[in-house]
Amino acid sequence: MRIAFIGLGEAAGAFITGWGADRASDIAAFDIKTTVPETAPEISQRAKAFGITHCITLQDAVSDADVVFSTVTADQAITAARAAAPLMKQGAYFLDMNSCAPSSKRVSAGIMAQHNLRYVDVAVMEPVYPKQLDVPLLISGDWSNDVSELLSNLSLTFRIIEGAVGRASSIKMVRSIMVKGLEALTAECALAAHAADVVDEVFPSLRDGHPIIDVEQRATYNFERSMTHGVRRAAEMDEVAKMVADLGLPNDLSRGSAHWQRIIADNTVDRSASKQGRDLQSLVDELLPRIRGD
């Protein structure tokens, strides 16, 4: 089985690592960062570390693939599908793992159908690390049953959601309203508490009123995630806002969540995972002066 990845970020890395060296020789990957001189070495080194084929062009990656995993940022998902479709061999599977609005998934599915390709809507329901191949996936669309044997052979953990393309993503995106919304709320609350110098009063008060949620601990984790993945998470929340609008509902909270993710990402000096394990005070000390322009 020939496998291709479009996008060689965290999600792709988690699956490739989970499969191990035995399957690495069957995997090729293309990342748009390869076309940028400043970031091309990063992608090349990452592919080398995984032991997979690093492709300079998208065509090199997908033309011989039996299955293509699209793991780009949400705002690039349709662009990636449009670019890949004419380059793929007929009958190949295109697994769209991006966090997109159902309407965006349907656009990509239509593109694939025009080229006799098999599009599958995939929703990744939890962070890919540390679970890797055990991360729960939901899949939907006309080709869900057909692709199930292939996914089982790849040791992926998935469940078929009956219905058309977009059904699986609807579950993921509606869930993100709450998950990413809480991230935005805790970010705004924690930064405001520190800026107003009332942390010692606010956090204990919140613990007393909402004992199930440790706001300080939750804020620390959320900042780590947003500072590392804020650009991708903001793009996801833009798609969530699109979905909510498609449903005829106000999307102010989803747009606000996207705004906060983008603010944190834009004011982070280093987006590497080295932030994990830092305390809340050190994270706030980095962000607060930059956000306020001090």
Q: Has residue 180 got a pLDDT over 60? A: yes
Grouping H, G, I as helix, E, B as strand and the rest as coil, residue 238 is: helix
Q: Has residue 205 got a pLDDT over 80? A: yes
- Domain range annotation of the chain: 3-164, 169-292
For residues 11 and 122, give the distance between their C-alpha atoms in angstroms, rounded to a whole number.
Answer: 13
Distances (CA, A) of 219 to 194, 214, 225: 12, 8, 10
**Banded pLDDT at 274 (limits 50, 70, 90):** low
Which of 3.30.420.40, 3.40.50.300, 1.10.1040.10, 3.40.710.10 is the CATH number of 169-292? 1.10.1040.10
Q: Where are the alpha helices (DSSP H) in the chain?
A: 10-19, 21-24, 40-50, 58-62, 77-84, 102-114, 144-153, 167-195, 199-209, 215-246, 252-266, 280-292
- Window from 130-144, 247-261, 275-289 with minimum mean pLDDT: 275-289
Share of the chain above pLDDT 90, in %: 86
User: Which long-range contacts link 208-215 to residues 24+ away (Cβ below 8 Å)?
Assistant: 215/186, 215/189, 215/190
For residues 143 and 20, give the distance between their C-alpha atoms in angstroms, rounded to a whole number.
Answer: 27
Q: Has residue 253 got a pLDDT over 70? A: yes
Q: What pTM was estimated for this model as a whole?
A: 0.90
Least Cα distance to 136 among 155, 115, 119, 159 occurs for 159
Q: Has residue 213 got a pLDDT over 60? A: yes
Q: Has residue 273 got a pLDDT over 60? A: no
Q: Has residue 45 got a pLDDT over 90? A: yes
Q: Has residue 36 got a pLDDT over 60? A: yes
- Mean pLDDT of the residues in the chain: 94
* DSSP-assigned letters across all residues of 40-69: HHHHHHHHHHHT-EEPSSHHHHHTT-SEEE
Amino acid at 176: S
pLDDT tens digits along 91-109: 999 999 999 999 999 999 9
Amino acid 143: pLDDT: 98
Amino acid 275: pLDDT: 64
Over residues 180-204, the mean pLDDT reads 93
Residue with the bigger pLDDT between 207 and 114: it is: 114
Distances (CA, A) of 164 to 82, 121, 239, 245: 20, 9, 18, 20
Query: Cα 50–52–55 angle (5° rounding)?
Result: 125
**Banded pLDDT at 215 (limits 50, 70, 90):** confident
Amino acid 271: pLDDT: 72
For residues 9 and 140, give the distance between their C-alpha atoms in angstroms, rounded to a whole number.
Answer: 24
Over residues 75-91, the mean pLDDT reads 97
Least Cα distance to 17 among 177, 155, 159, 150 occurs for 155
Amino acid 212: pLDDT: 80
Amino acid 54: pLDDT: 97
Please state which architecture CATH assigns to domain 3-164: 3-Layer(aba) Sandwich (3.40)
Over residues 204-210, the mean pLDDT reads 88
Token pair, residue 81, equals: 């599908």
